Amino acid sequence: MSTMDGPPTEESTHLSWANVALGLSFILFDAVVSTSFNLGVGSSLISAALRCIVQLAIVGLLLQRVFETNNPWAIAGIAFLLNFLGTVEAVANKSKKRFNHMFLSVLVSLLGSTIPVSIIGTRYAMAVEPFWKPEQYIPIVGMLCGNTVSSVVVAIAYVLKELYDNRDKIETYLAFGASRFEACTPIAREALRLALTPTINQMSVMGIISIPGMMTGAILGGSSVSQAAKLQMIIMFMISASTTLAAIVTTMVSLATVVDNDHRVRPDRVDVREHAIWRARDWLVSGIVGGVKAVGLRVASCCRRKSARTEDGCMETERLLG
């Protein structure tokens, strides 16, 4: 029995897709404002909102089945899937620069931070027995993944920017005899500071300026305000630990990859192109468009030849009759 359980309350309001459509009007308002001021983010807002609707609808259907089965292996699969999708988002969508074997490094750092922290925090700090209760464990893993992905992206982006765009400073340190550890220590410190700043800021304003979503959800779900506040404290501390672990691991791996054992900066190990997924998408789209154009041109050419033959036949007939 979890210590976070509270007294039962009245049944929550049932929401329909009409309520979602009404909520979507706020996004439409933002898109109109963007268009009016030529901000150029209107289409991004709409596409992100539609993606949010589709993703949450699919997750809702999937998690409902998992909650009903209450199978620990299904819960483990969901936890891995969340980390895998978080890795795809971090590597393919959020990172403009990538280092060699970045996908595997980020995936291992996410699994090595979110899973142990979620298990220990859920079992002991939240006193949930068993810890893998899906209605409590899965949302916690999801929150840890979301915050950890953000910190990992910030840390890696800063490290690769410094090593690729501003590598002259590091090469100067190395040329004067500094080891790669000594030359990269300032970069690592700043990368970790930037990665952890959002979590620190979030904790510092929580409860006074903002009421976090997990606490609000716990209150709406029937927990007392006191229990919801304690739950939110525990979750924020878990988020802090998870983001710190993942940021440290990915920062160290990226530095060790781009600055090799011979104390040389290796910009050839940094890929500044679009991710292979998007390059393959562009190649596929261009191939389809090119094929459609070729078919269209061939059909138009056939139509022109047929029309020319028809006109020649009409002229020949008129000549013979005339």
Give residue-wise pLDDT tens across range 207-216: 777 777 777 7
* pLDDT of 258 above 90: yes
pLDDT band at 148 (very low <50, low <70, confident <90, very high): very high
Q: CA of 148: how far to CAs of 56, 122, 186, 213, 309, in Å?
A: 19, 17, 22, 17, 69
* pLDDT of 3 above 50: no
DSSP state of 267: G
CA distance 241 to 144: 9
* pLDDT of 160 above 90: yes
CA distance 155 to 241: 15
pLDDT, one tens digit per residue, over 55-107 is 889 888 888 888 888 889 999 999 999 999 999 999 988 888 999 999 999 99
- The span from the first CA to the last CA of the chain, in angstroms, equals 103
CA distance 194 to 312: 76
CA distance 72 to 54: 26
> What is the model's pLDDT at position 2?
46
pTM equals 0.78
Averaged pLDDT, 308-318:
65
* pLDDT of 307 above 80: no
Q: Token pair of 183, please?
A: 């030359």
> What is the model's pLDDT at position 86?
93
Mean of the per-residue pLDDT values for the chain? 85
